Amino acid sequence: MNHYGMLANIRAHSLMVGRVAGLLGSALNRAGLELSLELIISGALLHDIAKTQALGLNELRHDELGRDICLAHGFDELAEIVGQHVMLRDGLPKRCAEKEIVYYADKRVLHDRVVDLDARQAYVLERYSKGDQAMHQRIRDNFSQARLVEERLFCLLDFAPEAVAERVKQSGLDGWPEVSNG
């Protein structure tokens, strides 16, 4: 995060996505799945590694650049997760996968707050569609896929999507690095 100059607000967002993804991954493992928490949390923390570099550059997609950064550092497994956190380009995998958890967790965090998919979609539409109807439709389609992921994940869990914010809050910050402005 420091090496790539991640802004404090993007770092705070990434840390919260890490907490949400870790919560979901742990709960899914307790439900009987065999997911790598290391990949989930690392992917969540690094999902926006290229966001600062991509700010203001319309032709540069931060997910693709983030994937390239991961590959350059030899993090091949993380590259797929980072590269698909904006959109699951390969569609839903046959079995629940780490990239799905990070993708979904990112859709649930607005800045550094856990919100529902409707609130996050409204923000993304306002911030990124800028009157472009094709972009507006792509965003809506992407959030339709996020809703399918939500259904898929929570049919395995013993809590509802509405409980995620409270569960993250209850989990506290033990073991998580401090967010600094420096």
CATH of residue 23's domain is: 1.10.3210
Tell me the two tokens of residue 160: 């509802």
pTM of the model: 0.91
Please give the DSSP secondary-structure letter assigned to residue 128: I
Under DSSP, is residue 67 helix (H, G, I), strand (E, B) or coil? helix
Tally of domains in the chain: 1
Rounded distance between C-alpha atoms, residue 104 and residue 125, angstroms: 17
Check residue 53 and give its pLDDT.
83
Tell me whether residue 48 is in a domain.
yes
Domain span at residue 41 reads 8-88+96-171
* 20-45 as b/e: b if 16+ CB within 10 A: bbbbbbebbeeeeeebeeebbbbbbb
> Which residues sit opposite 109 in a β-bridge?
114
How do residues 84-125 score in pLDDT, each as one tens digit?
Answer: 999 998 877 788 899 999 999 999 999 999 999 999 999 999
Residues 1-30: tens digit of each pLDDT: 999 999 999 999 999 999 999 999 999 999
Those residues whose C-beta lies under 8 Å from the C-beta of residue 28, and which sit 6 or more positions away, are 35, 96, 101, 153, 156, 157
The reply to whether 53 falls in a domain is yes
- Amino acid at site 147: R
Asked, for residue 44, whether it belongs to a domain, the answer is yes
